[in-house]
């Protein structure tokens, strides 16, 4: 898997587009709670990296990262997923698993969304969506 492009949004995120069509979102460790403005910046970055197409997204979240109620609602709205094909989240510890389960229970995702305990499984699952859409 090779990096094709990278984009930085200072103090918010780093996004990496790989040659398999997956965009990795790495939230800046200075963010303690994701807000709507952060998600809008992320969407703009995904739009730019993906050329306006819906893309599979892999989220690498850091310890103690939360998401506000408004951001949860936005993330599962039509506007919030307009450039998202499918989503995976690395849930490599109990806190991240609880956060993802809470998010998925309270605000039902509009796109396929799943947590995995390792990065490889995240990417394998997302690649299926990308290949179905781009074949």
DSSP class of residue 87? E
Inside any domain, residue 109: yes
**What is the extent of the structural domain holding 58?**
7-133
Give the pLDDT confidence of 67-101 residue by residue, as tens digits.
Answer: 898 998 999 999 999 999 999 988 888 777 777 77
The answer to whether residue 2 is domain-embedded is no
DSSP codes, 58-75: EEE--TT-EE-HHHHHHH
pTM over 0.95: no
State the sign of the Cα–Cα–Cα–Cα dihedral 47, 113, 2, 32: positive
Check residue 63 and give its pLDDT: 76
Return the percentage of the chain with pLDDT > 90, whole number. 68
Does residue 67 lie in a domain region? yes
Instruction: Residue 89: give its domain's CATH number.
Output: 3.30.750
pLDDT digits (tens, 9 = 90+) for 38-58: 999 999 999 999 999 999 999
């Amino acid at each position: 898997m090779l990096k094709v492009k990278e984009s930085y949004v200072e103090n918010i995120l780093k996004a990496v587009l790989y040659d398999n069509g997956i965009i990795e979102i790495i939230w800046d460790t200075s963010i303690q709670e994701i807000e709507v403005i952060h998600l809008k910046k992320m969407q703009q970055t995904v739009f730019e990296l993906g050329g306006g197409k819906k893309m599979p997204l892999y989220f690498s979240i850091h310890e103690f990262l939360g998401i506000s109620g408004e951001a949860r609602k936005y993330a599962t709205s039509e506007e919030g997923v307009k450039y998202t094909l499918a989503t995976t989240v690395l849930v490599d510890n109990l806190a991240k698993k609880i956060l993802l389960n809470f998010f998925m229970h309270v605000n039902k995702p509009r796109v396929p969304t799943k947590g995995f305990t390792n990065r490889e499984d995240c990417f394998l699952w997302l690649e299926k969506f990308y290949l179905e859409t781009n074949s």
